[in-house]
Amino acid sequence: MAGFGRYGMLAALMATAATGAYAQTAAPMPPEGSADTADADRAEATVPSAAGSEQEIVVTAQKRSERIQDVPIAVSAFTSETLERRNLDSALDLQLQVPNLLVVGNDRPTIRGVGNNAISPTADNGTGVLYNFAPIGVRPQDEFYDVERIEVLRGPQGTLYGRNTTGGTINLITRKAGNKFEGYGTAEAGNYGTVRLQGAVNVPFGNLGGLRLAGFALKRDGYTKNIGLGGDVDGRDQYSLRGSLRVNVGPDTRADVVFQHSKEDSTRSRENKRLCKATPVLGCSPVELGFDSPDVSGVLFQTLLRVGAGPAFPTGGNIYAGALNPTDLRTVANDISPSFKGYQDTLSVELSHSVGPVSLIALSGYTKGKSTANTDYDNAVLAFRFSQPVTYNYAAGKTITTTELITSDSFIATGRTYYQEFRAVSDFKGNLDFTVGANYFDTKGSANFIIYHPGIELFARNVLGLPAEARIFNSDTPEARTKSVAAFGELYYRFADTTKLTVGLRYTKDKKSIRTRTIFLSAPPPYTTADGSYDAVTGRVVLDHKLTPRNLVYASYARGFKGGGLNVGNTGTPTFDPEFINAYELGSKNSVAGLNLQANFSAFYYDYKGLQLGQRLGTSVLTVNSDAKVYGLESEFVWEPVKALIFNANASYLHTKIGDLSTIDPANPAQYQGTGTPTRTPAVPVSLRGNRLPYSPKYKLTFGGEYSLPLGSSGWKTTLRGDYSWQSTYFAREFNTSNDRIKAWGVANALLRLTDSTDRLSFEAYVKNIGNKDNISNSIIESDLVGSYRNARILDPRTYGIVGTVRF
């Protein structure tokens, strides 16, 4: 759906919202224990709590409906109302509101220092991202729309959620169809040419169920200026459509079917800025950053180009000499504009049937997608010129005859995932309850990383005489597959109304396979195949006790498991081992009625075995294993001193320490210290013992507050809200060098909202990143073949806009 079509459909949906009728029909409760226990019209359903209008949320963190203050797990939950009030549009916003949560590169959540540091198509994220409770690979960088609730569970969730949840789980629960006609439409306009549309309409079918249609579209200019080609990059043009069908098969049987289609055609950048202090031999200094271009006089690509181009290569030429790298973090000079094209289709089906006090649930999930990301490989407009025109491919299917040197790379990925789970959940209203189930997971994908560079092509063609398919660098993995089966169960025994013991066990077995090869300066080699099998028994034991009806304390032990994997194209070390975490946690959840205060605390300790760490080594990547220790503290507060005033805050402390591991730093193999002449040999292993885990800030603080007051006798009210989040320094790599250090950063946001007396019409003005800070959130080191420069990702600049919403 292109151009006017996608926006026209959403505009029509919003027009329906503007003219729709209003109804107040109560919805029936679904079967107790269903994964989705809140109807669409109960998306913000709550039970009274000490926090007054900041009411306590009902969550399904243990795959059964429970008050969040009764769940003995560190969990942060956000209803659709909370997301709207705090202006949280995506996971990048969400990370500002959750203790010890950091989103790496827009798509890899890390919780308590545990994420995905491996480099392999068979590597799993340590933090599971679920779509309606199904682990089917929904992209976490996509923006939220028509969401019922988001739950962030911190700590290993290996019993109920299983594989790849050693760090925790983020569960995105969409709004389902309800039994009343209602909906909403939202339109937003902001700086950078931002136009964002969102809307939904719910159509009931009486007692038979209902249909809910929702959509989202975003179009905006890029946040980064490209002086190489003119214009901007890192813009967005994307949309998503979702249909949710509910069928009440009988009084005790229900089916929920959710289908979502998302598509994007943007100038999304994988990284935002090149950082380097030029140094001979190494290309970039391993101990200092700047805005130079790498000195590639001793780098392989320079040699390939000089030999391959022959007389066309000027004497003494340095391909990066004179290349401009502006000192402004939001300005680049590239001769290839980045592009990102992709789609994803997602389907989830939940069938639930009650047999007396037991709910039987079948959850099915499927997703399929493809993405192609292209970028300027050398991140520069080079002043270098061949002494005579040469002909080469500078991008897929694009040949040029020129004296310029233009390069690009492409990352192409496809994938599909099936998931099936069967579960039984009891609610006997007595001393003993259970949750038991089994699931099957099957994901298969392909990945290609291709570099188009005249140095490779000319050398392969003119010197080695290789065929056309061998004149590129191609890390080619046509198939990487994971199959997993698991059986799990939990028992909940109440010694008394105030004390409960939870005991859970899970058996998981993963089978992984890969077919891969690397084409680089040789005829295409045969594919290397590898496979691995990993199984584990995990579980948890929790004892919780209510000191009073409003004060819960708990102690837990949980064991998390993340399967091993297969190294791409690496026959020397073809596999890496699984990860295990033995996690110990103490927590307290408190509601203080007289103060309208909620205060939750947790303290944790992890014994981390088999930590997976990925490294770039020339044209290959390698993931190795180590151990680590992790411990920390977390607190979350909500306080409503008076009805119109709400404060929220959280604070966290995180200590991480890597165990015994010595390895070579690819950015500094000979451990050059910044004096004398740098060299690559001899390679000196460096000990990582005592180093901090990547992306693990020690301290994180968040404060927010809002105040509402009526506007005279008009019936309208105004709400003013402010938020600030800050986190201390952390490292982008396990080597913890000065160049790995990410400086502390903070983000301040504010909004002003006007709402009518019926809550059907509202207008909002907002500003995010008030100080317009250029916050670097992560960096990636590029290959030593091109000088080991850093590609930094920068959080959004100051954005502001106005939003109008109509509900019916």
> How far apart, in whole angstroms, are the C-alpha atoms of residue 434 and residue 426?
6
Please list, in sequence order, all residues whose beta carbon lies within 8 angstroms of the beta carbon of residue 582, skipping any fewer than 6 positions away: 557, 558, 559, 606, 607, 609
> How far apart, in whole angstroms, are the C-alpha atoms of residue 31 and residue 354?
6
Check: CB of residue 795 under 8 Å from CB of residue 92.
yes
pLDDT of 281 reads: 87
> How far apart, in whole angstroms, are the C-alpha atoms of residue 445 and residue 482?
9
> How far apart, in whole angstroms, are the C-alpha atoms of residue 283 and residue 278?
6
Question: Pick from 296, 271, 548: which is nearest to 411 by CA?
Answer: 271
Chain centroid to CA 57? 24
Q: Is the peptide bond before 682 cis (omega within 30 degrees of 0)?
A: yes
Write the DSSP string, 303-336. HHHHHHHGGGSPTT--TTTT----SSTTEE--SS
- CA gyration radius for the chain? 27
Count up the domains in the chain and report the number. Answer: 1
At residue 404, what are phi and psi to the nearest 5 degrees?
A: -80, 160
Q: With 0-12 CB in 10 A as exposed, 13-18 as middle and 19+ as buried, what is 129?
A: buried
Q: What is the mean pLDDT of each run of 10 residues along the chain (808 residues)?
A: 41 38 31 38 36 61 84 92 92 93 82 87 84 80 86 90 85 93 97 97 95 97 95 95 96 96 93 89 92 84 90 83 91 94 96 96 96 92 93 94 95 95 94 96 94 95 95 93 95 94 95 91 91 92 95 96 79 82 96 89 96 77 89 96 94 96 90 90 93 96 96 92 98 95 97 95 97 94 84 94 97
CATH number at residue 232: 2.40.170.20
pLDDT of 4 reads: 36
Question: Pick from 405, 391, 377: which is nearest to 473 by CA?
Answer: 377
pLDDT of 528 reads: 86
Q: Which amino acid is at 802?
A: I
Cα distances (Å, whole numbers) of residue 12 to 4, 19, 601, 650, 796: 12, 11, 46, 41, 30
662-666 contacts, C-beta under 8 A, 24 or more apart: 662/686, 662/687, 662/688, 663/615, 663/624, 663/688, 665/286, 665/735, 665/737, 666/615, 666/616, 666/617, 666/618, 666/781, 666/783, 666/784, 666/788
Write the DSSP string, 616-630. EETTEEEEEEEEEEE
Question: Pick from 352, 349, 379, 353: which is nearest to 367 by CA?
Answer: 349
Cα distances (Å, whole numbers) of residue 348 to 134, 200, 244, 667, 672: 7, 19, 9, 44, 53
Question: Pick from 126, 193, 393: which is nearest to 801 by CA?
Answer: 193
Question: Pick from 775, 609, 601, 657: which is nearest to 96 by CA?
Answer: 775
pLDDT of 469 reads: 93
Number of C-alpha atoms within 13 angstroms, CB side, residue 79?
Answer: 18
pLDDT of 569 reads: 62
The domain containing residue 91 runs over which residues? 4-807
At residue 96, what are phi and psi to the nearest 5 degrees?
A: -75, -15
Count the neighbouring beta carbons within 10 Å of the beta carbon of residue 675.
7
> How far apart, in whole angstroms, are the C-alpha atoms of residue 471 and residue 391?
13
